[in-house]
Structure 1
Amino acid sequence: MIRDPFIAMTTAQRLQALFGEHMEAAPAPDGLALGVAECDGKTVRFAATRPEVRTGTLGVAECDALTRFVASAPGQCDAFVFLVDSAGARLDDGLPIQGALRRAMRALVDARLDGLPSLALLGRNAFGGASLLAYALSAQSYSVDTRMAMTGPRVLQKASGVSEAEVAAVITGPARCAQAGLTLCEPGEQPQVLRHWLRTSDQPPSADRARLHARMAVAGLAAHGDDPVLASPRTLSCRRGVTPGAADLMKLADAIETLPSGSAIELGWIGHSGDLRDEAVVQSEYLAALSRVLRERTRSGIAITLRLTDEISGGLMIALAAGATEVVLAPGGRVLTLPPDALQNIFKTDADMTTEHGDPLAAGAVDRIDQ
């Protein structure tokens, strides 16, 4: 049962409640609304996923439109607001959606690093890539009806061997706010939350990684694998076969800060954790923080290559690929979950690396998108 009248609204009604008549829509694909509004004396660019549309989850068209819109936002507005209500990537868009999510993630991280205040207003659902994009922003607001997780609730239930109720107790808005130290938005109060945020959005966010380390310590989380190892002065290696949790992600973030230009991260990790204990500390925020650390380095001129040495899927690759200078498929490296013959949409591959069917899974495939 929906308790929040704002969550029960269509996207158009939500935007009307937030901005009234003081907004102008911009062209956007079906699953996304884009526009500019005046609110509390500030110019706000907004984006909103449209869950009421049949193809309302995040597809390639939506992510690419979001990327262009956000990339041009710094200097053109006072703030960016993203209404996120999506179960994640549109699966029938195939593997190209991972490349599109990577570009959108990079644009949002860059906007934050450029100092653009950004708020994610979370709707009913924010799973997978949608949760990762929401945490690329500088602030998040939860409804009592929100369910947010990097991993879907059914997968969490199966992987952790717990009941549906136990999963719900971790991923719902009240639990998330308690864990992350946020104030839960009261039902129907989103317009007031937005205006309050706009009045205080010039205040810099707290020291992210110190806060995340503290949260992890309180939860008693230990790393799933060994520390990332410097295999050479310029190669940071993550042991193969590990599904990293929050502690692993923070260790990698700390190690990245010491890498010189021309370095590589050899990523043998196979995807983000499906452990409910890692999800309980808001895993999406840890992945976004890792992405931001790496992007800060590469934006400063420190070239860092992400080399995939094992099979990988999910938000871990999106987060790291968004921050890396380039991404390379090493021997044994493979991006999973979607058709291999779609890989050329993420990885630009030399012709002699592909099969007659265009499958670029051979070693040496290099991604130079967004350079």
Structure 2
Amino acid sequence: MNSKVFIANTSPQTILDDYKKLLNDINYKNIFDPKKEIVLKLNLSWTKFYPACSTPPWMLEGVLKTLIEDGIDPKKIIPVENKTVVTNVYEGSVNNKWKKILDKYNVKMHYLTNEKYIKYKPKGKMLILDKIFPRGIMLPNIIFDKNIIHLATAKMHVFTTTTGTIKNYFGMLREIRHFAHRYIHETIVDLLTIQKEIHPGILGLIDGAVVGKGSGPRAMDWEEKNYIFGSGNLVAVDAIVAKTMGFSPENLKYLKLARDLKLGPTDPEVNIKISKTWGFKRADTFASRGQKFIYHKLPERVEKFLLQSIIAPWSYLASSAYHDYYWYNFIGRKRIRRFLKTSWGKLFKTY
């Protein structure tokens, strides 16, 4: 098992070379089947740009540049991302500068909203996913039997406390994946079991150049940390990033479940140790408190009526009103302006 986690210090001046070195340190070529295509699973948590929220452009470029310089045909690189009921993946790929980078390297973006989905019957035992989707677990046909690289960010999440490479696969489900939020920890561990069945090689990268703390994945504050992380085991890299943030992996349900199912270690070997944790704390917003009340306080039948019936669009409108209009305009914009004055913000503007 390729469970060693590699950590590197980085800077805006060296970030592309640092991703190349990180991939080589991980020895990604030995993890992957060289005959297979490579899926790049991007992460879009918001249609709008916000620091640490979605895959940053320097991460995408660093990975693409390395793969192509190593002789991989751009046609064999398949970047994918999906929409949610509250995000627009087409606009998001422009706002986060993905489209510009992909065009530069002649790599085609694959929007999962346009891809064919097929029913997949897992070989391994499921904790919950087969019960949430009793008619079958649907996954995009384009990802099967291909290597995969996760391009995640180091940020917090109101449902899972931390979010990284494991939860990034949640985006492979169709846009009704919010049906699984009540059992999000079990769901993403089931998806990790599935990943190991359908991908010949799996690699997880987490960008911690700029990180998100507080009530993520959208309404966060950000900090510059200047680290990047990577491993051939998703449990390992997510656990180290969680520990670096200041959380014990043992206290994060999805990581403990994954460890107990022998999907990966929560105390892996690392190449360097970060001596001081970041001291992050759990936080909520008005919107996340409402979501948690529905998912964890109300009976499941009431949740289904509110969020899975004909009246469900009320919740999408409420989320958009809070995040896209109130929070972004009255809180987020000030934080973005502050970010754009930093060295990472100046790098973002070059894209």
TM-score category (smaller protein): 0.3 to 0.5
More RCO (CA 8 Å, sep 6+): 2
Larger Rg: 1
User: Greater helix share, 1 or 2?
Assistant: 2
Question: TM-score scaled to structure 2, two decimals?
Answer: 0.33
